[in-house]
Amino acid sequence: MQERQESRPVGKEPCPACGSGDNLARYDDGHAYCFTPGCGHFEPADGATLRTQRRATAMNYDFLEGSVVELSKRGISSQTCSKFGYLVGKNSKGASCQIAQYRDRDTGLELVAQKLRFASKDDGMPVIGDIDRAGLFGQHLWKTGGKRVVVTEGEIDAMSVAQAFGLTWPVVSLKRGAASAAKDLKQSLEWLESYDSVVLWFDKDDAGRTAINQAAGLFTPGKLKIVETPA
């Protein structure tokens, strides 16, 4: 039996169906797929069947749509939100929420998860999709390798730090907060290790200190740096 060969992404293009500027991913076997929520435009490779097309589109999650707006209460500009793909929209019940979007860890192309943030902390932060397939928040924005990368606890922190440095420094955040720091860092460890320094910028509370202690043994000696913030 012939071994199945996985196609690889070769670039991003405008989508002819929804008009997205770069959400149509093109693969080396010729097929293409638009990852814009609510679109799902698919162009099969030569010889692909309708059954194959249906199977590909059936794997989509019911992701939410939203708009890029300024987060004035946090001092985060619409430009920063646009860069990180951070949206404001409504969930299936009509409740307003902020939407942190996560892309595939290996290619950075496919939208694989959304984490929702509501005005009340009692509503939690539910996730749509498969967060385990995702890279760190914002990971897809930055190249592999460089002088330093900053890792924060949450998405708002990551955007705040990135904005403070003119959106030029690589800044990412954990996917599930300090309690899952070790797991999140391990899943993206190869990418993080490609940088000369990994800077952890966590909260100065018990959860943040525990996360730093757990992360210390993951990295090459001398690579990890810690930012101390006021309690």
Which pLDDT score is estimated for 230?
Answer: 65
Q: Are residues 124 and 211 in the same domain?
A: yes
**Is the confidence at residue 56, as pLDDT, over 60?**
no
Does residue 44 lie in a domain region?
yes
Does residue 150 lie in a domain region?
yes
Contacts with 171 (C-beta within 8 Å, 6 or more apart), sequence order: 138, 149, 150, 151, 152, 158, 159, 161, 162, 165
Total domains in the chain come to 2
Which pLDDT score is estimated for 117?
Answer: 95
Which position has the higher pLDDT, 30 or 173? 173
Does residue 101 lie in a domain region?
yes
- Measured between alpha carbons, how far is 118 from 99 in angstroms, rounded to an integer? 9
Q: Are residues 43 and 106 in the same domain?
A: no
> What is the CATH classification number for the domain harbouring 53?
2.20.25
Which position has the higher pLDDT, 22 or 212? 212
Does residue 23 lie in a domain region?
yes
Mean of per-residue pLDDT scores for the chain: 84
Q: Are residues 148 and 215 in the same domain?
A: yes
Does residue 1 lie in a domain region?
no
Does residue 3 lie in a domain region?
no
How does residue 38 score in pLDDT terms, banded at 50, 70 and 90?
Answer: low
How does residue 55 score in pLDDT terms, banded at 50, 70 and 90?
Answer: very low
Residue pair 151/137 in contact by the 8 Å Cβ criterion = no
Q: Are residues 113 and 138 in the same domain?
A: yes
User: Could you say which DSSP state residue 118 is in?
Assistant: -
Q: Are residues 106 and 53 in the same domain?
A: no
In Å, how far are 2, 28, 35, 206 from 5, measured between CA atoms?
9, 11, 22, 47
Share above pLDDT 90 across residues of the chain, in percent, rounded to a whole number: 56
> What is the CATH classification number for the domain harbouring 207?
3.40.1360.10
**Is the confidence at residue 50, as pLDDT, over 70?**
no
How does residue 4 score in pLDDT terms, banded at 50, 70 and 90?
Answer: very low
Does residue 231 lie in a domain region?
no
Q: Are residues 181 and 134 in the same domain?
A: yes
The residue range of the domain holding 138 is: 66-226
Greatest Cα pair distance in the chain: 61
Residue pair 39/18 in contact by the 8 Å Cβ criterion = yes
- Measured between alpha carbons, how far is 161 from 183 in angstroms, rounded to an integer? 23
**Is the confidence at residue 85, as pLDDT, over 90?**
yes
**Is the confidence at residue 53, as pLDDT, over 70?**
no
